[in-house]
Amino acid sequence: MDEMIRAVTVYALPLIFAITLHEAAHAFAAKRYGDATAFVAGRMTLDPFKHIDPFGTVAMPLLLYFGTQGAFTFGYAKPVPVDFGALRKPRLHSALVAFAGPGANLIMAFGWLLLATIVEHQSGASGFLFEMSEAGIRVNLLMFAFNLIPILPLDGGRILNSMLPRALAYRFSQLERYGFIIVLALVFLRMLDWWIVGLQNIALLVLQVVALPLLFLFR
């Protein structure tokens, strides 16, 4: 039990940051490209309490973590309201607003990677801060890959929808009402492992290459 409690405390801060900044990034991008809906609703903020969903941000990650004996955890926040029709260039800017969330997770994963390297150099690959840094990398890369699954209402689905011809995009958008059920079913059947694991590995490799010049300073 002590080990479980430690694991929860290790993951708590990275998960809250990952979810909060993901949603805030959507809001900031939407405001940048012409839609102030999230701003007016008070969601263009880094205050986690504005984004936290009691079930998706707290209960669900804990249930998944304990239910899988620490093998998997995931969470979500209250979706940021975006009026895609209000964006200055709806199709292009919809894709950019959608990518802002996963993009924020990628940047956070990079930050946690640098912190893990600094901590490892200073005190070795152990200790609470190093474990938290590794948790931050894992959580953010998972959110990056999961949210880019090209199925609505996920961010990847919105990006794909903005790239499709208008007639096909309309038909694709009709699946949004069933999208989350489809995604959960595919995840449960392990049919998306290749996407999630593959994209995480590619993203981590890219981050390691980008960080290489900085990492040399701590070797």
Q: Is the peptide bond before 213 cis (omega within 30 degrees of 0)?
A: no
At residue 148, φ and ψ (nearest 5 deg) are -90, 5
pLDDT of residue 190: 84
pLDDT of residue 59: 73
pLDDT of residue 4: 66
Tens digit of each residue's pLDDT, the chain (219 residues): 566 677 778 888 898 899 889 999 999 999 999 999 998 988 888 888 888 777 777 777 667 666 666 556 666 778 889 998 899 999 999 999 999 999 999 999 999 999 998 898 888 878 889 999 999 999 999 999 999 999 999 999 999 999 999 999 999 999 999 988 898 888 878 898 899 999 999 999 999 999 888 767 766
pLDDT of residue 65: 65
Residue 204, judged by CB atoms within 10 A of its CB (0-12, 13-18, 19+), counts as middle
CA–CA separation, 116 vs 130, rounded Å? 5
Contact 112, 211 (CB under 8 A): no
pLDDT of residue 219: 61
Give the catalytic positions in this structure: 23
Residue 176, judged by CB atoms within 10 A of its CB (0-12, 13-18, 19+), counts as middle
